[in-house]
Amino acid sequence: MRIVVDANVPAAQTCFGGLGEVVRLPGREIDAAALQEADALVVRSITRVDAALLAKARRLRFVGTCTIGTDHVDERALAERDIAFASAPGCNAEAVVDYVLGSLLTLAERQAWRLAERRVGIVGVGNVGGRLLARLMAMGIDCLACDPPRVEAESVEAQASVEQRLAGFVELDALIDACDVICLHTPLVSEGRYPTWPLLDAQHIAALAPGSVLLNAGRGDCLDGQALRQRLAGQGDISAVLDVWQHEPAIDHGLADLAAIATPHVAGYSLDGKLRGTQRIYRALAQHVGLPAPLTLADLAPAPAVSCLVLDAGLDREEALRLAMRAVYDPRRDHDSLHREARRQGMAKGFDACRAGYPLRREFATLDIELGEGARELAPLLAGAGFRVDTATA
């Protein structure tokens, strides 16, 4: 079996090598010619899998994407050719939540406000948004949520249970009116009752209160980038954190310059998240061809470079959070990298270079925090944020 795999899929040889011959190619170089003799294709989000790509794939019987999102895959085209499909929903959701928390705490530090005093509105309460909502509420942050499809899908009894456990569900306009921070975590949907293309249009962006933070780590086309650029360049009274963009990789350079934090679609790029995606598609392909899949995530993940942090008295609550988060991941690194590579190579090439050469990054859950006598009150906050708190010392 010949398996074509995006070169950015980690542990590809370890996982797929036991199932067949592995051919690794950069995601943007996977074309119809590359699939002529392929039996299986494993991609990430930058490869568009459609009828044009499949035109010469006479042997292809399986496609897997090691990502949460599937809008880059034409599932109808696969079904018409009797090609099995698998994705990895939720695989990098924890990493995206890490990115959101790290970015918000970075802005709070720069702009001299406290996250604990803000109300966060989450638009889209799926794999990512649901985890973000749960973590923020465990940290004691006031939250609202907007997810009309979920509200419609739930029964009255189940929805009441969700609201009691998490937060109140409101309409988008009400959420914008009531919240200081707006986080977008919706899929890209262009049809049906609840399209998200675009979800935040010029009218919604104009309605954001001065001092608001708008964060998009969902899909770039869910946000009217031109309207946001005009608001930032004109009034300049809101802040934007953008990880996803319209027209990737040739994104709007001007909008990137105006964003408080601008990163190249890497919010979910933790090693742990990527390995979960690889392992899930490996299992799906093995099941498809009737072979065993003995490798687990524990077999693939190395020990973290920083595994333990000891804290004691003297730290403010949000200072302690920032210290713990930056021991694992600092989004300022990705912001600086995008701007540096854009200057060196141009935006499109620089954007892709940042993703292709992305440095090792782990998730908050890989860090153990030991709390001394004077810091034990921080245990609920740090555990809520996603760290492993040593309860024996806390």
Which residues are annotated binding-site positions? 45, 67, 147, 186, 243, 268-269
Residue located via tokens 């310059």: 257
The one catalytic residue in 248, 283, 322, 335 is 248
Q: Coil, strand, or helix at residue 11?
A: coil
Residue 180 near residue 212, CB atoms below 8 Å: yes
Do 177 and 204 contact (CB within 8 A), yes or no?
no
81 is catalytic: no
Q: How far is residue 185's CA from residue 192's CA, in Å, rounded to a whole number?
A: 18
Q: Are the CB atoms for 285 and 42 separated by under 8 Å? A: yes
Answer yes or no: 109 catalytic.
Answer: no
Report helix, strand or coil for 37.
coil
User: Helices 127-138 and 93-111 meet at what angle, rounded to 10?
Assistant: 50
Closest among 270, 252, 277 to 70, alpha carbons compared: 277
Whether omega before 304 lies within 30 degrees of 0, making that bond cis, reads no
Q: Is the dihedral of CA 159, 165, 168, 169 positive or negative?
A: negative
- Out of 118, 135, 185, 219, which one is annotated catalytic? 219
Positions at the binding site for NAD(+):
147, 186, 243, 268
Catalytic residue chosen out of the listed positions 118, 135, 185, 265: 265
User: Active-site residue 248, yes or no?
Assistant: yes
Q: What is the 8-class DSSP label of residue 363?
A: -
Residue type, 368: D
Residue positions forming the annotated binding site for substrate: 45, 67, 269
Q: Are 269 and 355 in contact (CB under 8 A)?
A: yes
Catalytic positions: 219, 248, 265
